[in-house]
Amino acid sequence: MSVLVFVETDGGEVKKSSLEALYYGAKVAAQLHTTATALVIGPAATDLTTLGQYGTAEVLHASDARLAQANPMAYAGVVAAAAENAEVVVIAKSSLGDALAARAAGKLKAGLVSNVTELPDTSAGFRVKSSIYTGKAFAVTEMKAGKKILTVKKNAVSPELTDASASVKPFAPALPDADFAAKVLSTEKASGELSLSDADIIVSGGRGMKGPDHWQPLLDLAQALHAATGCSKPVSDLDWRPHHEHIGQTGIKVSPNLYIACGISGAIQHLAGVNGSKVIVVINKDPEAPFFKAADYGIVGDVFEILPRLTQAAKEQLGS
């Protein structure tokens, strides 16, 4: 019995979160004294042999033309077919990953745990730790099902690469027409911007930025740090920033290495979207802002005075 890892692509390029999931799956395979196999569905612009650097010796590539667009129903069928001899299926947590994991669990009659935050404890059974209640608590679940599906949060592991190369094999399972009852006709996405879900650094702004015409200092810092930009819900509701930048419980949930909040008070809805961040820095002129309680580092002051100084320091340190 092996470990299968679904590797998600975006525009043919492998997503960073899936590379972390692949390394995670390889580590689980090592714990179980077995091997990890990667599964890539749809077009791939990446040289898939390089996935061997993350611990897999074999890559299955399902390149059926009908799979060019991400379709959770069809993708779940492919995952289920590939997982026939797998004990554990690992999937990076994402909108697509969550949708196909649930469907694959039904097809495989597998146990499913989402939001997994670290490697399982296999010393006495198979126990996994996961984030629950929008990150306010953790749960440890003992999985007893013969097949197990884990959706893994970003930053659950830090990959250490090798020089290994993987063999790539075509994979063409029989897919019923019913799996294509719903068709993805087109996909629209923001271009020329870093993905919030995959960004290592995010600079985000709230109503303390005072309006859409005052956003440049924040954008300058993001550019200097090679960071993605985000915003709070009130900002997107006011159309100061695009709605796809909305971070929070009702927006995008992020887990960067560094989250810098500029002029955001820290309402519970916003905190629910960022509490997976490794380091949180808060800049706010109100010393009583709730966000400071969740921050690793806090700066009390005017964002329009502090941001240019941070930008200059970043340029000096990074040479940007």
Q: Which residues are part of a known binding site?
A: 207, 263-270, 284
Spell out the long-range contacts of 297-304 with Cβ–Cβ below 8 A and sequence spacing 24 or more: 303/205, 303/208, 303/209, 303/217, 303/218, 303/262, 303/263, 304/214, 304/217
Residues 212, 190: Cα–Cα separation, whole Å = 19
Residues 126, 123: Cα–Cα separation, whole Å = 8
Q: Which residue positions form the known binding site for FAD?
A: 207, 263-270, 284
* Amino acid residing at 152: V
**Is the Cβ–Cβ distance between 296 and 281 less than 8 Å?**
yes
Closest CA to 39 of 68, 59, 69: 59
Task: Look at strands 137-142 and 127-132 and give their pairing.
Answer: antiparallel
Residues 169, 167: Cα–Cα separation, whole Å = 7
